[in-house]
């Protein structure tokens, strides 16, 4: 029975001693965040129990300061105050880590310890991978770029390009994607921010290598002997391409009859004094290590394609008046006018009319008005026009959508057609046989006469049939 009493006494004494120990050290934050060059005070609060207390501060088993031996501190930056707190001046990055406060008292208290931690905060820094800040990949290859950041707290990283933030699901130091589009080239900026000081910024310039691409705004250039003319092509490539002009499979680089003008991506060939022998196909050829591309520019005296004017309009429910304009240094001899009924994505049979120019005006700009009659009311149509001068027939004009009065608004003129549809439909007109000597309006008047004849025959047959029935009844 006595043994149980002693066990109970020892337990109670231990719990009481633990309570006294906990009361001697209050609850305080274990981690203290400071910036470089700040002064920090590490608390080591010890309640006054009426006995002398010796306080020592340790770091990695190295004694930093002793309250009983103030002259033996490991550095002049350390000071221990009477309440046990440790002051550290001019905090540096290497001061981060754990600090142990040891309070020593005579028996029966013994000693207790408490751990403090210093976290030295510093602004973010960043470096790129590749370190040069430049990255080149071939079109279609994988892009892998990174920004490695440092700082306390650890920085968040975001990315920007072309003045817009790249939407990512999370903060990341790495960007990986396929260079499927050459327009992905450009400057990529990574920004590291941890709320301490200014954000750190770094740049990676991405260049996507691709074979030359050529854009020709005017693949058909109209000219006339004796004038000066300019052929243009725009070339984009990386690495930059070498551009040359060719005519009849020969380079024009050293020809005295021409002059080359290059401004940025725009490359021009200037023919100083056009001769008939200069007519033909010119090739803008661009080459780099990834390949060669060329586009054709046709130099000809054939008229430019006609352009329908906005003044074209419906004049009745069965007629429409067209006005078009043609650039041609030579007089226009005649026009081909093609038209057909049209529903969305479904076209009818083309009808062709030959229209003489009808003017003797000497001008590089030719305007023609033509009133087309015999159309169906409230019907949608489309039309193209070609023009002929002494050098031949021009290319077709752009397709004009029009309708007679009563048709639904917004169906024809406002009908939007993409480039692929135009390419599928305009060549149909190009490839049609172009007879030179059909009479004007043969299609419209001829079809009208055939209809009248058919109606007359049907009327005669009806009369004969009725007369026969009457005779049978008699």
In the chain (474 residues long), the average pLDDT of successive 10-residue segments reads 34 34 44 90 79 89 90 86 91 92 84 90 94 95 95 93 89 91 95 94 97 95 93 96 95 89 95 94 96 96 95 93 95 95 82 88 88 94 95 94 85 41 40 31 39 51 50 46
Domain 30-121 has CATH 2.60.40.10: yes
Query: Could you write out the DSSP letters of every residue in 114-135?
Result: EEEEEEEEEEEEEEEESTTSEE
Under CATH, domain 130-209 is a member of which superfamily? Immunoglobulins (2.60.40.10)
Closest of 345, 334, 341, 351 to residue 378, by C-alpha: 341
The C-alpha angle with vertex 115 and arms to 113 and 116, in degrees rounded to 5, equals 140
Q: What is the pLDDT of residue 424?
A: 38
Q: What is the pLDDT of residue 253?
A: 85
Q: pTM score > 0.85 for this model?
A: no
List, in order, residues 6 or more apart from 32 with CB less than 8 Å away: 40, 42, 116, 117, 118, 119
377 Rama class: left (phi>0) / alpha (psi -120 to 50) / beta:
beta
For residues 352 and 428, the answer to whether their CB atoms sit within 8 Å is: no
List, in order, residues 6 or more apart from 99 with CB less than 8 Å away: 42, 57, 58, 59, 64, 86, 115, 116, 117, 118
Tell me how far apart the alpha carbons of residues 83 and 89 are, in angstroms, rounded to a whole number: 18
Residue written as token pair 């002064």? 39
Tell me how far apart the alpha carbons of residues 101 and 113 are, in angstroms, rounded to a whole number: 5
For residues 38 and 91, the answer to whether their CB atoms sit within 8 Å is: yes
Tell me how far apart the alpha carbons of residues 213 and 223 are, in angstroms, rounded to a whole number: 27
Q: H-helix or E-strand containing 469?
A: helix 442-473
Q: What is the pLDDT of residue 77?
A: 92
Q: For 307-403, give the CATH class.
A: mainly beta
Q: For residue 17, give both structure tokens.
A: 């001693």
Tell me how far apart the alpha carbons of residues 413 and 405 are, in angstroms, rounded to a whole number: 13
Tell me how far apart the alpha carbons of residues 474 and 453 are, in angstroms, rounded to a whole number: 33
Q: For residue 43, give both structure tokens.
A: 């608390």
For residues 202 and 126, the answer to whether their CB atoms sit within 8 Å is: yes
Q: What is the pLDDT of residue 467?
A: 52
Q: What is the pLDDT of residue 106?
A: 83
Report the Cα 302 to chain-centroid distance in Å.
Answer: 39
CATH 2.60.40.10 domain residues, the chain = 30-121, 130-209, 217-300, 307-403
* Phi, psi of 38, rounded to the nearest 5 degrees: -75, 165
| Fold assignment, 217-300 | Immunoglobulin-like (2.60.40)
Tell me how far apart the alpha carbons of residues 306 and 355 are, in angstroms, rounded to a whole number: 14
Burial class (CB in 10 A: 0-12, 13-18, 19+), 110: exposed
Q: What is the pLDDT of residue 325?
A: 96
Between the alpha carbon of residue 84 and those of residues 21, 74, 299, the distances in Å are 16, 17, 96
The C-alpha angle with vertex 414 and arms to 411 and 415, in degrees rounded to 5, equals 65
């Amino acid at each position: 029975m006595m043994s149980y009493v002693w066990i109970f006494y020892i337990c109670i004494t231990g719990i009481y001693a633990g309570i006294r120990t906990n009361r001697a050290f209050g609850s305080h934050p274990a981690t203290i965040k400071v910036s470089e060059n700040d002064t920090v005070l590490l608390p080591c609060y010890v309640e006054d129990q009426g006995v002398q207390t010796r306080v020592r501060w340790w770091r990695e088993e190295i004694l930093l300061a002793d309250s009983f031996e103030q002259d033996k501190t490991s550095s002049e930056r350390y000071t221990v105050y009477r309440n046990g707190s440790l002051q550290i001046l001019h905090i540096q990055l290497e001061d981060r880590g754990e600090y142990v406060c040891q309070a020593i008292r005579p028996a029966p208290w013994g000693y207790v310890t408490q751990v403090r931690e210093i976290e030295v905060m510093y602004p973010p820094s960043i470096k790129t991978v590749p370190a040069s800040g430049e990255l080149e990949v071939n079109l279609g290859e994988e892009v892998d770029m990174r920004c490695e950041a440092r700082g306390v707290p650890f920085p968040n990283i975001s990315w920007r390009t072309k003045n817009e933030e790249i939407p990512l699901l999370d903060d990341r130091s790495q960007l990986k994607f396929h260079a499927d589009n050459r327009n992905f080239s450009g400057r990529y900026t990574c920004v590291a921010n941890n709320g301490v000081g200014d954000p750190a910024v770094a740049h990676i310039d991405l260049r996507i290598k691709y074979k030359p691409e050529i854009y020709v705004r005017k693949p058909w250039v109209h000219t006339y002997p004796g004038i000066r003319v300019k052929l243009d092509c725009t070339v984009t490539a990386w690495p930059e391409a070498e551009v040359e002009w060719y005519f009849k499979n020969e380079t024009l680089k050293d020809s005295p009859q021409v002059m080359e003008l290059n401004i940025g991506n725009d490359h021009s060939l200037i023919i100083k004094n056009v001769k008939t022998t200069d007519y033909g196909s010119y090739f803008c050829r661009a080459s780099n290590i990834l390949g060669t591309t060329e586009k054709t520019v046709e130099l000809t005296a054939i008229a430019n394609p006609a352009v329908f004017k906005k003044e074209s309009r419906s004049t009745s429910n069965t007629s429409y008046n067209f006005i078009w304009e043609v650039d041609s240094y030579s007089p226009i001899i005649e026009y081909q006018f093609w038209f057909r009924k049209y529903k969305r994505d479904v076209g009818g049979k083309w009808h062709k009319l030959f229209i003489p120019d009808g003017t003797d005006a000497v001008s590089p700009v030719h305007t023609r008005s033509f009133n087309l009659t015999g159309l169906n009311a409230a019907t949608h149509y489309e039309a193209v026009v070609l023009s002929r001068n002494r050098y031949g027939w021009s290319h077709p004009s752009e397709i004009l959508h029009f309708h007679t009065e009563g048709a639904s608004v917004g169906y024809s003129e406002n009908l939007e057609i993409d480039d692929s549809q135009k390419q599928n439909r305009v060549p149909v007109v190009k490839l049609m046989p172009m007879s030179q000597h059909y009479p004007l309006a043969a299609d419209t008047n001829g079809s009208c006469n055939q209809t009248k004849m058919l109606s007359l025959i049907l009327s005669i047959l009806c009369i004969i049939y009725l007369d026969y029935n009457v005779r049978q009844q008699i």
